């Protein structure tokens, strides 16, 4: 299935689907020769992510925010191909515990490759 079809099958991803469509990333990702892993936040989490970036749901149709929205989305996309749960478990170090028990690992994202500062 296409990326949009896969997300449509998951209830609560309407904001993410809208953002991908508005930025054109859905089409761009479908046309790439390599696969990627996308961490797809549910709508409630996506609203918080938008707020953390100084964006809102209205940004999903604001052409002046299109670049920033694209960078936010690319920040959630890994470049190293598809990952399974076991891959993530193996890549997360047993150290580096951050607040509230979250483990942190540095991975290359599409944002690292294509977003400029600002």
pLDDT value of position 25: 86
Tell me which DSSP letter residue 109 carries.
B
**Contact assessment for residue 57 and residue 10, using Cβ atoms and an 8 Å cutoff:** no
Q: How many residues does the chain have?
A: 118
Tell me which DSSP letter residue 60 carries.
G
Q: What are phi and psi of 38, to 5 degrees?
A: -120, 130
22 has a pLDDT exceeding 90: yes
Q: d(Cα 50, Cα 36) in Å, to the nearest integer?
A: 22
- Give pLDDT tens digits for 54-107: 899 999 999 999 988 888 888 777 656 666 667 666 655 554 444 455 444 445
Neighbours of 25 (CB within 10 A): 19
Q: d(Cα 13, Cα 102) in Å, to the nearest integer?
A: 23
């Amino acid at each position: 299935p296409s990326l949009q079809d896969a997300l449509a099958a998951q209830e609560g991803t309407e904001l993410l689907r809208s953002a991908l469509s508005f930025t054109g990333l859905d089409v761009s990702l479908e046309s790439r020769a390599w696969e990627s892993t996308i961490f797809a936040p549910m709508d409630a989490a996506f609203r918080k992510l938008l707020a953390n970036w100084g964006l809102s749901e209205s940004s999903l149709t604001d052409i002046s925010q299109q670049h920033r929205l694209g960078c936010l989305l690319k920040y959630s996309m890994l470049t190293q191909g598809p990952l399974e749960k076991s891959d993530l478990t193996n890549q997360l170090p047993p150290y580096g515990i951050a607040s509230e028990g979250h483990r942190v690992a540095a991975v290359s994202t599409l944002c690292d490759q294509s977003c400029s500062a600002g």
